[in-house]
Amino acid sequence: MTNQPSQEFGFGTQIRKSPYFDATVRWGAQGFSVYNHMYIPRDFGDPEENFWNLVNTAILCDVAVERQVQITGPDAARFVQLLTPRDLSKLAVGQCKYVMITNNDGCILNDPVLLRLAEDKFWLSLADSDILLWAQGVAVNAGLDVHICEPDVSPLQLQGPNSGEIAKALFGDDIADLRYYWLREYTLDGIPLVVSRTGWSSELGYEIYLLDGSRGSDLWEAIMAAGEPFGLKPGHTSTIRRIEGGMLSYHADMDNQTNPFEVGLGHWAAIDTDLEFIGKAALTAIRDAGITRQQVGLVIDGEALPAPNTRFWELSVNEAPVGKVTSAVYSPRLKKNIALAMVESAAAAVGTEIAVAMPDGVRLATVVEKPFYDPKKQITAASLSATTAASAV
Confirm if 110 and 66 have CB atoms less than 8 A apart: no
Average pLDDT, the chain: 94
CA distances from 24 to 62, 221, 297, 363, 365 (A): 8, 10, 34, 38, 38
The residue ranking higher by pLDDT, 263 or 386, is 263
> How far apart are the C-alpha atoms of 32 and 26, rounded to whole Å?
14
> How far apart are the C-alpha atoms of 220 and 179, rounded to whole Å?
24
| CATH code, domain with 214 | 3.30.1360.120
Q: What angle do CA 307, 237, 112 make, to 5 degrees?
A: 120
Which distant-in-sequence residues (6+ apart) come within 8 Å of 391 by Cβ? none
Domain residues for 133? 68-149
Considering only CA atoms, which of 371, 380, 375 is closest in space to residue 181?
Answer: 380
> How far apart are the C-alpha atoms of 295 and 204, rounded to whole Å?
25
Whether residue 200 is found in the same domain as residue 89: no
Torsion on CA atoms 103, 109, 113, 114, rounded to nearest 10: -30
Confirm if 56 and 238 have CB atoms less than 8 A apart: no
41-95 confidence digits (pLDDT tens): 999 999 999 999 999 999 999 999 999 999 999 999 999 999 999 999 999 999 9
Could you tell me what percent of the chain has a pLDDT over 70? 94
The residue ranking higher by pLDDT, 386 or 210, is 210
Whether pTM exceeds 0.85: yes
Q: 226 in a domain, yes or no?
A: yes
Whether residue 324 is found in the same domain as residue 199: no
Q: 179 in a domain, yes or no?
A: yes
Q: What is the pLDDT of residue 8?
A: 60
Is residue 387's pLDDT more than 50? no
Which distant-in-sequence residues (6+ apart) come within 8 Å of 224 by Cβ? 1, 27, 60, 232, 234
| CATH code, domain with 310 | 2.40.30.110
DSSP of 302-320 = SSPPSS---S--EEEETTE
112-158 confidence digits (pLDDT tens): 999 999 999 999 999 999 999 999 999 999 999 999 999 999 999 99
Q: 174 in a domain, yes or no?
A: yes
Considering only CA atoms, which of 317, 319, 278, 273 is closest in space to residue 298?
Answer: 317
| 355 C-beta neighbours (distance < 10 Å), count | 17
Q: 250 in a domain, yes or no?
A: no
* Rounded mean pLDDT, 196-212: 97
175-189 confidence digits (pLDDT tens): 999 999 999 999 999
Q: What is the pLDDT of residue 126?
A: 98
Confirm if 326 and 341 have CB atoms less than 8 A apart: yes
Considering only CA atoms, which of 330, 264, 267, 268 is closest in space to residue 296?
Answer: 264
> How far apart are the C-alpha atoms of 36 and 16, rounded to whole Å?
9
Out of 182, 208, 243, pick the residue that ends a domain: 243
Out of 243, 276, 301, pick the residue that ends a domain: 243
